[in-house]
Chains A and B, each alone.
Chain A
Amino acid sequence: MSVTRSSVGEVEHDRCATTVVLHPVGQPEPASRPDGAGQERRWRRWAAPGALVAIAALALFLRVWQLDALGFNSDEAVYAGQAASLAGNPNYSPFFPVFRAHPMLFQTLLSPFFRTGEVDVAGRVVVAVLGVATVLAVHLLGARLYGRRVGLVAALLIAVMPYHVVVTRQVLLDGPMVLFATLTLYCLVRFVQAQQVLWYVAAGAMLGVTMLTKETSIVLAGGVYAFLALTPTVRRPVRMSVLALAPMVVVFATHPVSQALAGRTETGRSYLVWQLFRRPNHSMGFYVETVPVAMGLLVVTAAVGGLWWLRGRRSWRETLLVSWIAAPVVFFQLWPVKGFQYLLPAAAPVAVLAARALTALPVPERMGRLLRRAVRRPDARPSTAVRTVRTVRAAVIAVVTLSLLVPSWNAVNRANNATFLAGSGGVPGGREAGRWLAANTPEGSVVLTLGPSMANIIQYYGHRRSYGLSVSPNPLRRNPSYAPLPNPDWWLRHNDLQYVVWDSFSAGRSAFFSERLMVLIRRYHGRVVHTEHVDGTDSTGARVPVPVVIIYEVRP
């Protein structure tokens, strides 16, 4: 039996219910069993929280397992460096200015952990915990929209989704940002269901917090607008929208206000200009190639398929979730700058949609008959048929979960890799190279790296001033956060650079600058003083060490 309502009916229904529970298609009410009913109730009472705790534990495990295997990547180094500088850690203040391009909510949250010494794991643990909080928030969202079962399955999917697992193991803004984005979505759902202005205002404020974590999340406001535009049944008088918009602006104003109060008046204006006009860093097919795989092809298929096979139950909920997905996808697809983790806000609604689809997966009658025959009970009662459907769905959910768990497990165990995609994890050998420089080179040494990414890592772990060769001296062609080296040859000739670091990851991105760097190394008597390797295989399949970071000593 299917339960369908008109849009108006949906909203009216939601007003009267704290949690909306839609019964699955073709699923009768569960038969009551008088014997052991009390025990069953007790079990049911604890089953859902127990499952949620287990999911959270699994999520935490995946996010902290071998968390220290790789050092920071460039972005992590920058955010951690900002946090350390804000905390007054003398190791980082000379290298990482407190204010760079983004707002400081996350860095402020991190900074108490970075007051002294070299910290990296603690920062990642904070993000991992926020990642687990996102799993719980997704459960809340799913349960609020489609019931507890969907909430649990959605939480399970996001808990093991490689995309979310990988990003929330790194000190990046995107993990915390997705938590707040999911909470914004939750507030919005509460507003739609309750039509309570306070939830609308709370949604605005929470979106402000999301933007305080990473300002690009303002694109999610587009998702809200699209949803409201496509859902006329939701009341949205102008004054109510203004009321919701005001806290968003006020909350985001914390960023410029705190900067001004701290003595810095410049904001990330020049950074925004550069982002607007910089050249694309990836092809137009980048997201299609990377994100569905990272989210899980079965999950994406389920989310999309569910929209089709549950089209009869279409409501404002799907409109909201699809709008929330579409806003960042459309924006970042058109935006020239692409980053692996930029579409992470879409992960939560995709997981909810997939969970909705999987928990209501249509099981063909023929398959039911086959299953009953397989268990040699063709004359089984209807309750057995229901159980069979449930079993099929549970099996499918298990397969989908496993299809996420395996790549996630591989990802968290992949410490030795000669390839690297920005945002997808730590940089093999980077931390070790930095630490080697800190331990084996005189204080005050200056390092030339191939690109700014390795320069950030060297500065974080090596505490040595580093410059990226590929940073353009043209202010229109470089990230304003990076310091260019207008004439590296002159610097080398005058002994202002004492070490050169080549890394295979940057070299893979720019053969031109790799060759330029090698020319300088040869010209200035480059001598290899340290090499970082990862395990690789040669043409015969034998294991060979592959150099990923090479440190040269140079002199005029």
Chain B
Amino acid sequence: MTDPTRPCGSRAGRLVTRALLITCLLALANPAAAAHAAPRTAAPPSPTTPIDHFVFLMQENHTFDNYFGTRPGVDGIPAGTCMPVRRGQAEPCVKPFHLGELGSLDLDHTAEAFRVQHNGGRMDGFVEGVSTQGKDGNLAMAYYDDRDLPYYWNIADEYVLFDRFFSSSNSGSIRNHMFRVTGGPGATGASESIPKEGWGDIPTIFDRLEAAGISWKFYVENYDPTITYRSRSAEEDIDRGAQVIWVPLLAYARYVDDPRLFGKIVDLDEYYEDAAKGQLPAVSFIAPAGDSEHPPGSIRAGQNLVRTLLTQLMRSPNWNSSAFLWSYDDWGGWYDHVAPPQVDSYGYGFRVPALLVSPYARRGHVESTTLDFTSVLKFIEVNWRLKPLADRDRRAKTFLDAFDFDRPPRPAVLLSTERTPPVVTRPDPVPVYASYAVTGSLVAALVGAAALRRRRWT
């Protein structure tokens, strides 16, 4: 593996010298980029598993119980759950209820909301955590099921559902998205915002990939390349400016200023084209926009986005060597009954839904290994022999048990959005065969009798 920080004065051939000279010039212009993202010239390492193409989509703001809490066979909502309206007071309480088409709100999902809802591990503040923000706290106890998420439930039937997958941070989007790409929280301390000067030289998984010569792209739905940490304003946080949160690379000077690296952050349309041509990079990160399922956005729209992405992957020449994992950046204020393990001062946060689709994924498997977003980094690092980025991803478990590499890749199956597929009823064939056989025999006998009989009718 090439050391990205090796000195420029190498004794190589002329071409290599020129390349290094250019690298040196770039380094002079942008030392951070050179330090983290020097491209590797040797052949990239081959993956340690049959997975040559890994795709990671991050949706928004739901908990495991909110999406799969009523699903049989998983660690779902415990029977008899009733969430106190006030912490420490058993009554009155709110029972989990089906949200369906009632409509939802953007519930509070800040670090403070987490603190109230978590309540030191007592997990009894979900209603209060929302209601103290002036919103209907009962809504935190709402859940969706297969009536609302038939496609996701069908995916869980066919592929892998994780029921101990935690958000990395016990706060909102920014830290979780930073954990997703760096293995760390980004901004340290109490601050949870993107620094004005960007994320500086915090290494990302893409630096590792770049250094190892492994292809990658960051696909962004409705991508606007003019919105970066330099152009984004606070008012845009909830609008298109969220692009900088969901694509942390846009808050890195070295990614924004280096045309080569910046060129790897592309619109989602390229994902479809790359997949169709069988040219998906080794690692693909996807950030949504309006289809993120962020409440009060339509969960059906998000489901449709995931289905479209998976459909394209399944009909891609890359399908047989690919894996697609999607999860949700934070809990969104919704109820989840599992108290998250405390691994450091930032997390974990509450459980979030996560599903894995791959021709090697175990069929209908529920994976209960404790995981978080850095487990995805861990998988990439293990698969392509990369160094860890931070302490969290170094210690994280990965989800290799969700695969079965002993079997050949499964053919793709496009699952429908019908939870119960139409039953094909085949009529009983015996009466059909019998009726026609009897009739045919009788007619044949009649004609035969007529041919043999010579007596004239009178």
Chain A positions within 8 Å of B, measured between CB atoms, are: 15, 85-88, 93-94, 98-99, 104-105, 108-109, 111, 183, 187, 190, 194-202, 205-206, 208-209, 212, 240, 247, 251, 254, 257-259, 261-264, 441-446, 494-496, 498, 525, 527, 553, 555-556
**Of A87, A446, A494, the contact of B429 (CB 8 Å cutoff):** A87
Report yes or no: A187 in contact with B450, Cβ–Cβ below 8 A. Answer: yes
Task: Give the contact stretch, choosing among B211-219, B222-230, B431-439.
Answer: B431-439
Report yes or no: B447 in contact with A86, Cβ–Cβ below 8 A. Answer: no
Q: List 16 other contacts, CB 8 Å, given A254-B436, A442-B413.
A: A98-B426, A190-B450, A195-B456, A197-B457, A202-B450, A258-B432, A258-B435, A262-B429, A263-B428, A442-B314, A442-B412, A444-B416, A445-B315, A555-B308, A555-B312, A556-B304
Report yes or no: B315 in contact with A263, Cβ–Cβ below 8 A. Answer: no
* A94 to B425 CA separation, bound complex (whole angstroms): 9
Residues of B within 8 A of A262 (CB): 427-429, 431-432
* A250 to B421 CA separation, bound complex (whole angstroms): 40
Give 1 or 0 for each of B405-416: 1 = CB within 8 Å of chain A CB. Answer: 000000111111
Contact A494 B304, CB 8 Å, known A198-B446, A442-B314: yes
Residues of B within 8 A of A209 (CB): 439-440, 443
Report yes or no: B427 in contact with A264, Cβ–Cβ below 8 A. Answer: yes
B374 at the interface (CB under 8 A from A): no
B260 at the interface (CB under 8 A from A): no
In the assembled complex, 12 residue pairs joining A and B whose CB atoms fall closer than 8 Å, in A order, are: A15-B456, A87-B429, A109-B436, A190-B450, A198-B449, A202-B446, A202-B449, A254-B436, A443-B411, A444-B416, A555-B308, A555-B312
Give 1 or 0 for each of B302-320: 1 = CB within 8 Å of chain A CB. Answer: 0010011001101100000
* A206 to B442 CA separation, bound complex (whole angstroms): 10
B6 at the interface (CB under 8 A from A): no
Minimum CB distance partner of B314 in chain A: A442
CB distance from B303 to the nearest CB of A (A): 10
B187 at the interface (CB under 8 A from A): no
Contact A205 B436, CB 8 Å, known A187-B450, A442-B413, A556-B308: no
* A86 to B429 CA separation, bound complex (whole angstroms): 6
Report yes or no: B439 in contact with A251, Cβ–Cβ below 8 A. Answer: yes
Report yes or no: A88 in contact with B429, Cβ–Cβ below 8 A. Answer: yes
Residues of A within 8 A of B311 (CB): 442, 495, 498, 555
The residue in B411, B417, B426, B433 that gathers the most chain A C-beta atoms within 10 A of its C-beta is B426
Residues of A within 8 A of B443 (CB): 202, 205-206, 208-209, 247, 251
* A439 to B103 CA separation, bound complex (whole angstroms): 42
B29 at the interface (CB under 8 A from A): no
Minimum CB distance partner of B437 in chain A: A108
Residues of B within 8 A of A527 (CB): 276
**Of B315, B413, B436, B438, the contact of A498 (CB 8 Å cutoff):** B315
Report yes or no: A198 in contact with B457, Cβ–Cβ below 8 A. Answer: yes
Residues of A within 8 A of B457 (CB): 195-198, 200, 240
* A200 to B446 CA separation, bound complex (whole angstroms): 10
Report yes or no: B276 in contact with A553, Cβ–Cβ below 8 A. Answer: yes
Residues of B within 8 A of A444 (CB): 413-416
Chain B positions within 8 Å of A, measured between CB atoms, are: 272, 276, 304, 307-308, 311-312, 314-315, 411-417, 424-429, 431-436, 438-440, 442-443, 446-447, 449-451, 453, 455-457
Report yes or no: B433 in contact with A108, Cβ–Cβ below 8 A. Answer: yes
Report yes or no: A261 in contact with B428, Cβ–Cβ below 8 A. Answer: yes
CB distance from B222 to the nearest CB of A (A): 13
* A498 to B310 CA separation, bound complex (whole angstroms): 12
Residues of B within 8 A of A263 (CB): 425, 427-428
Contact A93 B439, CB 8 Å, known A190-B450, A555-B272: no
* A99 to B315 CA separation, bound complex (whole angstroms): 34
CB distance from B57 to the nearest CB of A (A): 15
**Of B440, B446, B451, the contact of A201 (CB 8 Å cutoff):** B446
Report yes or no: B450 in contact with A442, Cβ–Cβ below 8 A. Answer: no
* A240 to B427 CA separation, bound complex (whole angstroms): 38
Report yes or no: B433 in contact with A196, Cβ–Cβ below 8 A. Answer: no
Residues of A within 8 A of B440 (CB): 105, 209
* A108 to B429 CA separation, bound complex (whole angstroms): 9
Residues of B within 8 A of A205 (CB): 442-443, 446-447
Report yes or no: B414 in contact with A445, Cβ–Cβ below 8 A. Answer: yes
* A446 to B413 CA separation, bound complex (whole angstroms): 11
Residues of B within 8 A of A111 (CB): 429
* A187 to B272 CA separation, bound complex (whole angstroms): 67
Residues of A within 8 A of B449 (CB): 198, 202
Residues of A within 8 A of B438 (CB): 254
Residues of B within 8 A of A555 (CB): 272, 308, 311-312
Residues of A within 8 A of B417 (CB): 494, 496
Report yes or no: B436 in contact with A105, Cβ–Cβ below 8 A. Answer: yes
CB distance from A266 to the nearest CB of B (A): 11
The residue in A109, A525, A555 that gathers the most chain B C-beta atoms within 10 A of its C-beta is A555
**Of A108, A190, A202, A556, the contact of B432 (CB 8 Å cutoff):** A108
Report yes or no: B431 in contact with A258, Cβ–Cβ below 8 A. Answer: yes
CB distance from A220 to the nearest CB of B (A): 16
Residues of A within 8 A of B412 (CB): 442-443
Contact A258 B436, CB 8 Å, known A206-B447, A556-B304: yes
Report yes or no: B439 in contact with A254, Cβ–Cβ below 8 A. Answer: yes
Minimum CB distance partner of A194 in chain B: B456
Contact A98 B276, CB 8 Å, known A198-B449, A261-B435, A556-B308: no
CB distance from B159 to the nearest CB of A (A): 14
Report yes or no: B436 in contact with A495, Cβ–Cβ below 8 A. Answer: no
Residues of A within 8 A of B435 (CB): 254, 257-258, 261
CB distance from B426 to the nearest CB of A (A): 6
Residues of A within 8 A of B433 (CB): 108
* A205 to B451 CA separation, bound complex (whole angstroms): 14
* A85 to B307 CA separation, bound complex (whole angstroms): 31
Report yes or no: B455 in contact with A196, Cβ–Cβ below 8 A. Answer: yes
Residues of A within 8 A of B434 (CB): 258
The residue in B417, B439, B446 that gathers the most chain A C-beta atoms within 10 A of its C-beta is B439
Residues of B within 8 A of A257 (CB): 435
Residues of A within 8 A of B425 (CB): 263
CB distance from B425 to the nearest CB of A (A): 8
CB distance from A126 to the nearest CB of B (A): 15
Residues of B within 8 A of A251 (CB): 439, 442-443
Residues of A within 8 A of B411 (CB): 442-443
Contact A196 B453, CB 8 Å, known A86-B429, A86-B432, A108-B433: yes
Report yes or no: B436 in contact with A104, Cβ–Cβ below 8 A. Answer: yes
Minimum CB distance partner of B458 in chain A: A195
CB distance from A127 to the nearest CB of B (A): 17
Minimum CB distance partner of A499 in chain B: B315
Residues of B within 8 A of A108 (CB): 432-433, 436
CB distance from A89 to the nearest CB of B (A): 10
Report yes or no: B308 in contact with A495, Cβ–Cβ below 8 A. Answer: yes
Minimum CB distance partner of B448 in chain A: A202
CB distance from B447 to the nearest CB of A (A): 5
* A493 to B343 CA separation, bound complex (whole angstroms): 43
Minimum CB distance partner of B313 in chain A: A442
* A301 to B403 CA separation, bound complex (whole angstroms): 75
Residues of B within 8 A of A200 (CB): 457
Contact A88 B439, CB 8 Å, known A201-B450, A205-B446, A444-B416: no
CB distance from B280 to the nearest CB of A (A): 15
CB distance from A478 to the nearest CB of B (A): 20
CB distance from B219 to the nearest CB of A (A): 14
Residues of B within 8 A of A93 (CB): 424, 426
* A251 to B437 CA separation, bound complex (whole angstroms): 11
CB distance from A95 to the nearest CB of B (A): 9
Residues of B within 8 A of A240 (CB): 457
Residues of B within 8 A of A445 (CB): 315, 414
CB distance from A523 to the nearest CB of B (A): 14
Residues of B within 8 A of A446 (CB): 414
Contact A247 B429, CB 8 Å, known A444-B415, A445-B414: no
Minimum CB distance partner of B426 in chain A: A93
**Of A85, A87, A187, A553, the contact of B315 (CB 8 Å cutoff):** A553
CB distance from A417 to the nearest CB of B (A): 31
